[in-house]
Amino acid sequence: MFQMFKEWFWLERFWLPPTIKWSDLEDHDGLIFVKPSHLCMSIPYAFGLIIIRHFFEKFIASPLAKTIGIKEEVRKKITPNTVLENFFKHSTRKPSQTDIYGLAKKCNLTERQVERWFRSRRNQDRPCRMKKFQEACWRFTFYLMITIAGIAFLYDKPWVYDLWEVWNGYPRQPLLPSQYWYYILEMSFYWSLLFSLGSDIKRKDFLAHVIHHLAAVSLMSFSWCANYIRSGTLVMILHDVADIWLESAKMFSYAGWKQTCNILFFIFSIIFFISRLIIFPFWILYFTLILPLQYLEPFFSFIFLNLQLMVLQILNLYWGYFILKMLKRCIFTKNIQDVRSDDEDEYEEEEVEEEEEEKEEATKGKETDGLKNGLGANRHLIPNGQHGC
């Protein structure tokens, strides 16, 4: 059964142009061609990147964060309460006033104490700036290094300057060592991001990130198996070049360097719109979808490749919408805040409310103590006969 599925899955009419056989892509005369088995190496490399990331965040990102003013946050411990904890986990994180009233009666607490407990409990799950900085620093470092490597790999390749070369000799295009490592490292990185989604900070666009990482892995895997390596390398470097500036803007935002963050974000926005919303659809997609139809009869892998590229473009439009919202916020409020992380804003607002509440109670306590001390120090001013009141 498995053998039958394997033979059907790798049918030449699905993957290759008419008249081309798999035997045409066998290694010969020192020329090496892509093989699906090559992709298996991306999984162990992904776990290797996760290990490298752990040590990078611990020994490089954390000291760097402290150097630029980010401190480890000490979370206020809350009083354990089984009833409230069960309600928090299994019902809702934000109880209604009716729920608060019922929980207060059940736990023999005041409604104010129940509200404060839930606020503190929500803040326990709030992602700290150190963690956010570490993640952004790791992504920035990888994107910077892979972009530099991509430029080094591609600067002398003819298909970078003449996109007709993307199809020259297709699919009998041998695999270069630089292409192999560029692809494998890029795929390994996205696998590592997928594997670490559970431990990374969860944002509002979590689902979009999952779709993006899966689409990236799927697109790279498919383009590898069908030998669309040349167009694949162009798509990868075109998307990586903007991410460098986004991650660096996040790093400075977490450090509180707002002016530097704004400048970097504007640079990112310009590069994003030029690379992903102009060059990618009107240049790359045009040469992978429209022009080849004059010389190639459409076949399955050709159609499927372009469908994946269009899904990628839809995601680019989705993120472009958020970027425009952030730019609008920056223009009118003079502050860039990641609109994907509104849930984190709520955590921070609640923490501020909690701190203000504690200050208010402390102030009241001081006033009460002062009043008591004042009465104690000036008891002789109270008329005789009123000491017992």
pLDDT digits (tens, 9 = 90+) for 332-367: 665 555 544 444 444 454 545 555 555 544 454 444
Cβ partners under 8 Å of residue 281, min gap 6? 313
Rounded mean pLDDT of 232-250? 94
The proportion of the chain whose per-residue pLDDT surpasses 70, expressed as a percent, equals 83
Task: Give residue 377's pLDDT.
Answer: 42
Task: Give residue 334's pLDDT.
Answer: 56
Task: Give residue 125's pLDDT.
Answer: 67
Burial class (CB in 10 A: 0-12, 13-18, 19+), 129: buried
Task: Give residue 240's pLDDT.
Answer: 93
- Binned at pLDDT 50, 70 and 90, residue 198 comes out as confident
Other beta carbons less than 10 A from residue 109's beta carbon: 19
Rounded mean pLDDT of 210-225? 87
Task: Give residue 366's pLDDT.
Answer: 47
- Residue 201 predicted with pLDDT over 80: no
Residue 287 is encoded by which pair of tokens? Answer: 């040469």
Q: Which residues pair with 31 in a beta bridge?
A: 28
Rounded distance between C-alpha atoms, residue 301 and residue 284, angstroms:
17
Task: Give residue 381's pLDDT.
Answer: 36
Residue 282 is encoded by which pair of tokens? Answer: 């009107």
Task: Give residue 370's pLDDT.
Answer: 47
Q: Which residues pair with 28 in a beta bridge?
A: 31
- Residue 52 predicted with pLDDT over 90: yes
Task: Give residue 77's pLDDT.
Answer: 74
CATH number assigned to the domain with residue range 82-125, chosen from the 4 options 2.130.10.30, 1.10.357.10, 3.90.340.10, 1.10.10.60? 1.10.10.60
- Binned at pLDDT 50, 70 and 90, residue 384 comes out as very low
Most confident of 23-27, 54-58, 163-167, 327-331: 54-58
Lowest-pLDDT range of 28-32, 250-254, 311-315, 331-335: 331-335
Task: Give residue 333's pLDDT.
Answer: 66
Query: Could you report how far apart the first and last alpha carbons of the chain are, in Å?
Result: 94
Cβ partners under 8 Å of residue 325, min gap 6? 339
List pLDDT tens digits, range 82-133: 888 888 888 888 888 888 889 988 888 888 888 888 888 887 767 788 889 9
Task: Give residue 356's pLDDT.
Answer: 52
Contact 300, 221 (CB under 8 A): no
Of 333 and 173, the structure prediction assigns the larger pLDDT to 173
| Mean pLDDT (the chain, rounded) | 82
Rounded mean pLDDT of 215-239? 91
Task: Give residue 49's pLDDT.
Answer: 96
Lowest-pLDDT range of 178-182, 186-190, 289-293, 351-355: 351-355
- Residue 7 predicted with pLDDT over 70: yes
Task: Give residue 281's pLDDT.
Answer: 93
Domain boundaries, the chain: 28-67+128-341, 82-125
Contact 185, 45 (CB under 8 A): yes
Cis peptide before 171 (omega within 30 of 0): yes
Task: Give residue 30's pLDDT.
Answer: 86
Give the distance from CA 45 to its chain's centroid: 20
Burial class (CB in 10 A: 0-12, 13-18, 19+), 178: middle
Other beta carbons less than 10 A from residue 358's beta carbon: 12
Rounded distance between C-alpha atoms, residue 184 and residue 179, angstroms:
8
C-alpha separations of 379 from 75, 366, 368, 383, 385 in Å: 43, 19, 16, 9, 12
Rounded mean pLDDT of 356-385? 45
Lowest-pLDDT range of 42-51, 122-131, 174-183, 259-268: 122-131
Of 347 and 26, the structure prediction assigns the larger pLDDT to 26
Residue 218 is encoded by which pair of tokens? Answer: 């799927």
Give the distance from CA 126 to its chain's centroid: 17
